[in-house]
C-alpha cells in the first residue's frame, strides 16, 4: 500500500511538471504576444541580413589607406557578427538579444551623434547612403514605441 502511495505522489509530481501551471498570470502568452515575438525575432534576423548586404556594399568604397584600416576592421567584424546571426536556422531569443545589443551599439557608433573620426564619419555617410539611415530611423521609432522590449529584458 505504501508503494502505491509513493507511486501516486511521484506520478502527480511528474504530471504537474510536464503540464506545469503558470506561476503568475504573465507566464502565459497570448496568441498576439507570440505573434509579436516571432515578428520581432524575424525582423531582427532580416536586419542582420540587410547589414551584411549594406556593409558588403560599403567595404569596397572605403579608401585604401592605413587611415581606414581600423574602420574596415570594425565593419568586417560587425558584418561577421551579423552574418553568423542571420545564418542561425531557428528563432533564438538569446542570440537575437546579443545581436540586438551589437546592432544598437553599431547604429549609435555610426550615427551623427557618435564621437567619430574623419574616417568613421566617411564610413557612416557611405553606410547611410547604402540604406543604414532608413534602418536607423525605423529602428529608433520602433524602439521608442517599446516594440523591442522582448529583446531588452
Chain segment 27-50, per-residue pLDDT in tens: 566 777 777 778 888 888 899 999
Q: What pLDDT, on the 0 to 100 scale, is given for residue 12?
A: 58
Q: What pLDDT, on the 0 to 100 scale, is given for residue 5?
A: 54
State the Rg of the chain over Cα.
23
Q: What pLDDT, on the 0 to 100 scale, is given for residue 110?
A: 86
Q: What pLDDT, on the 0 to 100 scale, is given for residue 148?
A: 77
C-alpha cell, 101: 545589443
Evaluate whether 4 touches 11 at the Cβ level (below 8 Å): no
Phi, psi of 88 (to 5 degrees): -65, 130
The SS3 of residue 140 is: helix
**pTM reported for the whole predicted model:** 0.74
Q: What pLDDT, on the 0 to 100 scale, is given for residue 141?
A: 92
Which residues have a Cβ under 8 Å from the Cβ of 39 and sit 6 or more positions away? none
Q: What pLDDT, on the 0 to 100 scale, is given for residue 89?
A: 81
Q: What pLDDT, on the 0 to 100 scale, is given for residue 10?
A: 61
pLDDT > 90: percent of the chain: 39
Task: Give the separation between CA 59 and CA 64, rounded to whole angstroms.
Answer: 10
Q: What pLDDT, on the 0 to 100 scale, is given for residue 139?
A: 87
Phi, psi of 10 (to 5 degrees): -65, -45
Q: What pLDDT, on the 0 to 100 scale, is given for residue 147?
A: 81
The SS3 of residue 88 is: coil
The SS3 of residue 62 is: coil
Q: What pLDDT, on the 0 to 100 scale, is given for residue 20?
A: 40
Task: Give the separation between CA 147 and CA 33, rounded to whole angstroms.
Answer: 11
C-alpha cell, 36: 509579436
Structure letter (DSSP) for residue 21: P
All residue ranges of the chain with pLDDT < 70 are 1-29, 115, 153
Amino acid at each position: 500500500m505504501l508503494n502505491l502511495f509513493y507511486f501516486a505522489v511521484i506520478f502527480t509530481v511528474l504530471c504537474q511538471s510536464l503540464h506545469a501551471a503558470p506561476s503568475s498570470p504573465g507566464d502565459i502568452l497570448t496568441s498576439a504576444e507570440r505573434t509579436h515575438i516571432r515578428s520581432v525575432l524575424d525582423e531582427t534576423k532580416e536586419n542582420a541580413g540587410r547589414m551584411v548586404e549594406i556593409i558588403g556594399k560599403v567595404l569596397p568604397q572605403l579608401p585604401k589607406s592605413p587611415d581606414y584600416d581600423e574602420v574596415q576592421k570594425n565593419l568586417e567584424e560587425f558584418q561577421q557578427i551579423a552574418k553568423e546571426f542571420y545564418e542561425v536556422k531557428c528563432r533564438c531569443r538569446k542570440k537575437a538579444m546579443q545581436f540586438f545589443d551589437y546592432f544598437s551599439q553599431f547604429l549609435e557608433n555610426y550615427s551623427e551623434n557618435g564621437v567619430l573620426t574623419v574616417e568613421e564619419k566617411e564610413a557612416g555617410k557611405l553606410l547611410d547612403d547604402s540604406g543604414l539611415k532608413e534602418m536607423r530611423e525605423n529602428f529608433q521609432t520602433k524602439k521608442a514605441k517599446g516594440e523591442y522590449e522582448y529583446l531588452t529584458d
